[in-house]
Each structure stands twice: as C-alpha cells, then as structure tokens.
C-alpha cells in the first residue's frame, strides 16, 4: 500500500500531494481518509488535491467526512471529474476548496431505507432515523447550496441532478477546474 508521505519529513517531501478517492461513503473508507490525511499533516504536506468519485453511501459517514474535511488543518481541494452523489455531496461540501469539471455531475436525494422484512415497530424506528438523516443533511446542504425554489421542491419528490456548470452557479462547487497533477508527481489512492 502506497500512502501519502508521513513523518520524518526531508527536504525532498513535496508541499502538495495528489490523491484519488473512488468508492462508497462508509465507515471503513472514512477511516482510510482520516489515516491518510492525518499522515499527510504529520509529513508536513500543506495542500492535498483529492479527485473525489462516489455514488454515495451512509448519511452518518457523509456527515462525518463533511465535518472532518472542514476541520482538517491543511488546504484540501476536492475535484469532481465524474459524479458525486448522495452522501458524497454532503462530504464534498466540507472541503475548503471545491472544483468540478464541466462534465462532472452531482446528485442529491432524500434519505432512503428498505422496509423489507420490517415489523411495525422497526418501521417506526426506520422512519425516525430517516427524518433525522434528512434534517441533518438538509442543514448542511442549505448552508452551502443556493438552489432555486423549484429545485428544492423537486428534491422533496425525486433525485436532483446538477451539471458541473450548475454546481458552480448553485454553490456546490466554487469553480470549474481540472484535477491535473504536475508531470512526474505521484498520485496516491486514498482507499488502498
């Protein structure tokens, strides 16, 4: 496993690192992000550029990554060059720097859970959990995203897809930009 440079920095350790996150939003992957980024901090990396690709995952883990990305004491720029969906959008919003390519897309939706094999009591608990997940994600999303009222209304009933250009207009991303490591720069897999 190759990791972002860690302690015992030498004069040859770069000030910037480039990495890729391509996977689900879950507890195991969240732990890998924490391990890699805290290692980068210890290694005196000042700026991590992270290509971020995810179909989403668990709300709690998306909220955790959002808060971790906000708190991490280095410059962190996330790039969307494909698609970021669901809990991944919540995590993405926590980064200090957020870029997307024109062809990048974002997808948001209300929280979901399968009621298959659920008893009436379990369904009541599932419903409460979904309400709590929707409340906390909506708080984060509304803090950052400036959707017109028709998109907020649409989000109540179905998935909402946003292009890279629209993402900048609505405040999801800050600018159009490419993930472009300099020639010869090693690119790390954050989930390896």
HEC states along 121-154?
HHHHHHHHHHHHHHHHHHHHHHHHCCCCHHHHHH
- Report phi then psi at 95, rounded to 5: -70, 145
This prediction has a pTM of 0.88
pLDDT tens over the chain, length 192 residues: 566 665 555 567 789 999 999 999 999 999 999 999 999 888 899 999 999 999 999 999 999 999 999 999 999 999 999 999 999 999 999 999 999 999 999 999 887 777 777 788 888 888 887 878 888 988 999 899 999 889 878 888 899 999 999 999 999 999 999 999 999 999 999 998
CA-CA distance, 76 to 67, in Å (whole number)? 13
Q: Of the candidates 24, 41, 51, which has an alpha carbon nearest to the alpha carbon of residue 185?
A: 51
């Amino acid at each position: 496993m190759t990791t972002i440079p860690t302690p015992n920095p030498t004069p040859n350790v770069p000030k910037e690192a480039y990495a890729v996150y391509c996977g689900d939003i879950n507890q195991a992957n969240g732990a890998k992000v924490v391990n890699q980024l805290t290692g980068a901090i210890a290694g005196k990396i000042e700026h991590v550029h992270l290509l971020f690709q995810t179909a989403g995952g668990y709300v709690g883990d998306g909220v955790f990554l959002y808060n971790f990305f906000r708190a991490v004491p280095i410059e962190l720029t996330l790039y969307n060059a494909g698609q970021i969906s669901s809990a991944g959008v919540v995590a993405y919003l926590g980064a200090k720097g957020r870029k997307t390519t024109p062809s990048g897309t974002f997808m948001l939706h209300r929280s979901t859970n399968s009621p298959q094999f659920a008893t009436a009591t379990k369904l009541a608990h599932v419903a409460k959990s979904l309400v709590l997940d929707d409340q906390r994600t909506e708080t984060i999303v509304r803090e950052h995203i400036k959707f017109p009222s028709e998109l907020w209304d649409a989000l109540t009933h179905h998935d909402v897809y946003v292009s890279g250009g629209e993402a900048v207009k609505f405040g999801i991303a800050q600018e159009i930009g490419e993930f472009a490591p300099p020639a010869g720069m090693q690119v790390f897999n954050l989930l390896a």
